[in-house]
Amino acid sequence: MRKLKLGSLGLSVVVVVVLVIWMATGELKVANSEPPERQKSDTKELTQVQVTTLDARLYEPGLLLQGQLEPWRAVTVSARVAGTVENTEVSLGDAVNAGEVLLSLSEDGRGATVDRWQARVKKLEADLAAARKLRTRNLAAESEILSVESELAAARAELKAARLAVSYLKPSAPFAGVINSKSVEVGSLVQVGSPLYEIVRIDRLKATGQVPQQSAAQVVPGQKVYVQTLDGETLTGEVTFVASAANPETRSFAVEIAVDNPEMKRIAGGSANLRVALPDVQAIFISPAYLSLGDDGRPGVKFVDADNRVAFRNVRLLSVSTEGAWVTGLPDTIQLITRGGGFVSEGEQVETVNAAEERG
């Protein structure tokens, strides 16, 4: 019994000693009633986009129209009296001045008619003078004087008509131009109204086109116009007329443009592209590849604002070609997103990389 008591006492002493040693050398851990602080997660990495800085520039927008070029003036000179063509003074392609004789028709006794009426007028003038003298002495009635005056007026009208008929024997050019067609030869018999020559003026041309009703208010007389022919050459012109009422079938307004053609290029009768110059505006030139559609279906551009957030702004297209597009509706200076725009959304903060630096 005594050995059992000593064994239990020894075991207790050993346990106490071990606890003392552990408390002296080990870490003392105390339970905490507060929950442990949650560790902060790493900051989300920003999406990287490539940008390039673009500045607005002064741009002259234009309204593009399809047009037709015509001679500034074109007329067919016709016979005003009947006769036979005795000789021709000009040929096809000749340049003529205003008033230059084109051909001569046979006289056919018209000169004699002039002489006859001229003599008649002289006799009646003498008769009238004599009658007036007699009237001063009450030897002639007033009715006799009126009768002679009437006959004289009729004779003078016949003389004028006879002289005009003689002048019509030599048709002349109504304006300076070029002979574009010839309808008679020497010996041709012509009647009143028979066509003789067509004369056109091409040192100045007239371009005609149709302006859509939504753009009619932008076009007024005096505006500058660039006319591009089918062979790629460009002439300048000026709007001279805009119709006040639209064509009921096309709902478009007719427009006429005076085009200078100092080199007399043979382009009259052909089609051309017309670009009506509109007032200058501040615009940005970008590649069409950077245009995208907004939720409303209108074109717009994604760029990065001053806070490095993605912005989207609708734009108005002034002109679009394979080389690029001129647009308005953007700030004067933007950081255009050139790469990565499809992976970011409006309002998202991003990290920018300058396109020029990346290429370098």
Domain of 210: which CATH number?
2.40.30.170
> Could you tell me the mean pLDDT of each successive run of 10 residues in the chain, 360 residues long?
47 50 48 46 71 88 90 96 95 95 95 94 91 80 87 95 95 96 95 96 95 90 92 91 93 95 90 90 87 84 87 86 85 86 82 68
Residues 268 and 297 placed together within one structural domain of the fold? no
SS3 state of residue 145: helix
What is the predicted pLDDT for the residue at 43?
56
Q: Which among 249, 277, 305 is the end of a domain?
A: 277
What is the predicted pLDDT for the residue at 359?
53
What is the predicted pLDDT for the residue at 357?
57
Residues 268 and 285 placed together within one structural domain of the fold? no
Cβ atoms of 208 and 228 closer than 8 Å? no
Instruction: Specify if 143 maps to a domain.
Output: yes
What is the predicted pLDDT for the residue at 310?
87
Residues 294 and 352 placed together within one structural domain of the fold? yes
Instruction: Specify if 91 maps to a domain.
Output: no
Instruction: Specify if 212 maps to a domain.
Output: yes
Instruction: Specify if 290 maps to a domain.
Output: yes
What is the predicted pLDDT for the residue at 72?
95
What is the predicted pLDDT for the residue at 145?
85
Cβ atoms of 236 and 194 closer than 8 Å? no
- Residues whose CB is less than 8 angstroms from the CB of residue 150 and which lie 6 or more positions away in sequence, other chains included: none
- Enumerate the β-bridge partners of residue 73: 201
Q: pTM of this prediction?
A: 0.65
| Nearest Cα to Cα of residue 162 among 230, 109, 221 | 109
Domain ranges, residue 263: 63-71+201-277
Instruction: Specify if 243 maps to a domain.
Output: yes
What is the predicted pLDDT for the residue at 341?
78
Which residue shows structure tokens 């001569």?
104
Instruction: Specify if 120 maps to a domain.
Output: yes
What is the predicted pLDDT for the residue at 12?
56
CATH code of residue 345: 2.40.420.20
Residues 67 and 205 placed together within one structural domain of the fold? yes
Reading the block at residue 59, the tokens are 């741009």
What is the predicted pLDDT for the residue at 156?
95
Reading the block at residue 143, the tokens are 């009715």
Cβ atoms of 180 and 199 closer than 8 Å? yes
Residues 152 and 301 placed together within one structural domain of the fold? no
Report the run of H or E that residue 193 belongs to, with start and end: none
| Nearest Cα to Cα of residue 208 among 252, 262, 245, 254 | 254
Reading the block at residue 85, the tokens are 């063509």
State how far the Cα of 337 lies from the Cα of 350, in Å rounded to an integer: 11
Instruction: Specify if 250 maps to a domain.
Output: yes
* Structural domains counted in the chain: 3
Residues 144 and 289 placed together within one structural domain of the fold? no
